[in-house]
Amino acid sequence: MRTQKLSRKDYLRVKNLLKKYEDIIYYLNSLKATALSARGYMGSYYIEFEEDDEDENEGGV
C-alpha cells in the first residue's frame, strides 16, 4: 500500500473534521448518560410508587 504526504491544507481539514467528530461523539455520549440516569431515576420512582400502592392495598383488605 502506498502512502502519500498530505498538504498542510488537507492536514488541517482532516484535523478539523476529526475534532468535530470528537465533539459530536462527546455530545452523544453525554446525552446517553443523561438518558440512562433519567431512566434509572424514573425506574426507582415507579418502583417506590408501586410499593406504596401495594402497601395501601394490603392495609385496606
Give per-residue pLDDT as tens, 20-59: 999 999 999 888 888 877 766 665 555 555 545 555 555 5
Kindly indicate the confidence band of residue 17, based on its pLDDT and cuts at 50, 70 and 90.
very high
Mean pLDDT of 6-12: 92
Residue 40 pLDDT: 67
Grid coordinates representing 40?
A: 434509572
pTM: 0.50
Question: Does residue 2 lie in a domain region?
Answer: no
Q: So what's the pLDDT on residue 54?
A: 52
d(Cα 41, Cα 13) in Å, to the nearest integer? 42
The domain total for the chain is 1
Q: Is 7 helix (H, G, I), strand (E, B) or coil?
A: coil
Say if 11 falls within a structural domain: yes
User: Is residue 37 domain-resident?
Assistant: yes
The reported pLDDT for the residue numbered 44 is 57
What is the span of the domain harbouring residue 20? 7-61
Q: Is 4 left (phi over 0), alpha (psi -120 to 50) or beta?
A: beta
Task: Answer yes or no: is 1 within a domain.
Answer: no
Is residue 41, in this structure, part of any structural domain at all? yes
